[in-house]
Amino acid sequence: MLEKFTLKRDYYAGGLMLLLGVGAAVTGSGYKFGTLARMGPGFMPVMLGVVLAFMGLLIAGTALASSEPDDAKFMPDNPQWFGWFCIIAGPILFIILGEYGGMIPAVFACVFVCALGDKTATYKSSAILAFGVTVFGVLLFHYFLGIPFPLLRGVNL
């Protein structure tokens, strides 16, 4: 009996949906609800929130009811903290350097940091890749497609 209550991945999945659903319904109830004939902006958010919360309960409920063991874990077998960090850091650097530096530093930093996330990558291989992508990106997006993104802010190239 007790093993039924060991945590399964679907409890988290259902719980997350329940949370999101309730959150949406509560936020949505701040908007005008209206009537069926004249729906206000709050009608759909509340209804969808309730449905989502209900789905969350069903997901957790079926996991509770099924006797099959669920050995799938939330965390992968070998968590790639450094890899994930690099993938997240890349776009953040792209935003900061793009805003204050321009396209060249943004692209170089983004590709360089992302590439470092691979186990086999070295500083040198990442830098070469980043350099190549930057040259290609500048040619394609700046000169060929002409998107409005200065190459280096403050410098007229």
List the x/- string, 48-67, binding to other proteins by CB under 8 A: xx-xx--xx-xx--x-----
Of the candidates 5, 67, 76, 154, which one interacts with other proteins according to CB under 8 A? 76
Q: How far is the CB of 150 from other proteins (least distance, A)?
A: 11
Is residue 69 near other proteins by the rule CB under 8 A? no
26 binds other proteins (CB under 8 A): no
Structural contact between residues 63 and 6, judged by C-beta atoms closer than 8 angstroms: no
Nearer to other proteins, 38 or 155 (CB): 38
Hey, what long-range contacts does 47-52 have (CB within 8 A, 24 or more apart)? 48/21, 48/24, 49/21, 49/22, 49/23, 49/24, 49/25, 50/21, 50/25, 51/21, 52/17, 52/18, 52/20, 52/21, 52/24
Helix 9-28 crosses helix 43-65 at what angle (to 10 degrees)? Answer: 160
CB of 70 to other proteins, least distance (A): 9
22 binds other proteins (CB under 8 A): no
Binding residues among 85-144 for other proteins as defined by CB under 8 A:
87-88, 90-92, 94-95, 98-99, 106-107, 110-112, 114-115, 117-121, 125-126, 129-130, 133, 137, 141
Q: Please, are residues 133 and 107 in contact by the beta-carbon 8 Å criterion? A: yes
Nearer to other proteins, 39 or 157 (CB): 39
Q: Are 100 and 35 in contact (CB under 8 A)?
A: no
